[in-house]
């Protein structure tokens, strides 16, 4: 960063940590164990350096920065876009919070990081991967009562990643459930969020654990869900999706 006479350059926030936060995340991703049943997925702890994670939690936006989806389907979920086809919503933030998340966007929403995600799941992606794929990323805050029933996700999505950011032990049981079903109509892309649990079984629910992620390949068996969160709680996440064009 250039300086003018009589002034000192201000170090980037990202340079204040012992381990480079992005390289630490890439290291964790590339050395993670990938579970193959019922679809490729991974639960990875310590995705960020501990000191960086503490600062990330300290800079989470206030409730006012989150806006519910305009379709009204999940009123308990508020979002703040970090990247997408329509840009970001960082102007909603002010002061240190805006500075932190602006730098997060520039540091983590990079081809190097999401290229690592693609490499992790590469054997399963070769027939679907396109050069013009794009990244959809947002901060999310789910308030008490939020739930989502078993679904596979849209066929336009290649990989989904949820960064878990609990600020209370009350949501420790609110991780993502890996779901299985032997019904053919359930094992297809675009299974809707119908609210129906009939015919679905939970194979595993990962803990909603600090500084961890749940990442999975989206395919015709990638059923997942979240049971209702306790009243009066907040379930904070960062969500990344690698998307195919329309």
Strand residue runs (E) in 96-245: 134-143, 148-151, 157-164, 177-180, 201-205, 212-217, 224-226, 234-243
Average pLDDT in the 8-30 region?
79
For residue 1, is pLDDT > 50? no
The pLDDT tens digits for 209-245 are: 999 999 999 999 999 999 999 999 999 999 999 998 8
For residue 5, is pLDDT > 50? no
Q: What is the pLDDT of residue 56?
A: 97
pLDDT band at 67 (very low <50, low <70, confident <90, very high): very high
Residues with Cβ < 8 Å from 65, sequence gap 6 or more?
80, 92, 93, 97
pTM score: 0.90
Comparing 15 with 230, the larger pLDDT belongs to 230
Q: Is 150 helix (H, G, I), strand (E, B) or coil?
A: strand
CB 137 within 8 A of CB 84: yes
Q: What is the CA radius of gyration of the chain?
A: 18
Q: What is the pLDDT of residue 8?
A: 47
d(CA 159, CA 7) in angstroms, rounded, equals 45
DSSP 101-121: HHHHHHHHSSHHHHHHHHHHT
Q: Which two tokens stand for residue 201?
A: 């079984």
What is the architecture, at CATH level 2, of domain 17-243?
Sandwich (2.60)
Dihedral (CA of 57, 172, 213, 139) sign: negative
The pLDDT tens digits for 111-160 are: 888 889 888 887 777 667 777 889 999 999 999 899 999 999 998 999 99
d(CA 41, CA 145) in angstroms, rounded, equals 26
pLDDT band at 71 (very low <50, low <70, confident <90, very high): low
Comparing 161 with 72, the larger pLDDT belongs to 161
d(CA 174, CA 166) in angstroms, rounded, equals 10
Average pLDDT in the 45-53 region?
96
Q: What is the pLDDT of residue 91?
A: 96
Q: What is the pLDDT of residue 195?
A: 85
Percent of the chain topping pLDDT 70: 92
d(CA 66, CA 7) in angstroms, rounded, equals 37
How would you class 204 by CB atoms within 10 Å of its CB: exposed for 0-12, middle for 13-18, buried for 19 or more? Answer: middle
Closest CA to 158 of 192, 132, 186, 179: 132
Calculate the alpha carbon distances from 130 to 50, 83, 156, 194 in Å. 35, 19, 11, 30
d(CA 51, CA 64) in angstroms, rounded, equals 26
């Amino acid at each position: 960063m250039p300086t003018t006479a009589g002034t000192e350059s201000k170090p980037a926030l990202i340079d204040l940590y012992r381990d480079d936060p992005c390289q630490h995340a890439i290291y964790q991703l590339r050395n993670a164990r990938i579970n193959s049943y019922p679809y490729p997925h991974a639960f990875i702890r310590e995705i960020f350096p501990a000191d960086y994670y503490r600062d990330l939690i300290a800079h989470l936006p206030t409730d006012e920065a989150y806006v519910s989806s305009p379709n009204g389907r999940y009123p308990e979920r508020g979002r703040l876009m970090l990247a997408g086809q329509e840009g970001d919503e960082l102007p909603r933030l002010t002061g240190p919070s805006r500075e932190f998340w602006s730098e997060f966007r520039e540091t983590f929403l990079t081809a190097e990081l999401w290229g690592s995600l693609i490499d992790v799941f590469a054997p399963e992606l070769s027939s679907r991967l396109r050069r013009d794929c794009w990244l959809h990323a947002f901060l999310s805050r789910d308030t008490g009562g939020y739930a989502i029933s078993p679904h596979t996700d849209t066929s336009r999505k290649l990989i989904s990643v949820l960064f878990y950011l609990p600020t209370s032990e009350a949501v420790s049981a609110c991780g993502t459930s890996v779901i299985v079903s032997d019904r053919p109509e359930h094992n297809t892309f675009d299974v809707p969020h119908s609210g129906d649990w009939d015919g679905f079984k939970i194979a595993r629910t990962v803990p909603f654990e600090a500084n961890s992620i749940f990442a999975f390949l989206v395919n015709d068996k990638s059923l997942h869900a979240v049971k209702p969160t306790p009243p009066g709680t907040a379930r904070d996440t960062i969500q990344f999706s690698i998307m195919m064009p329309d």
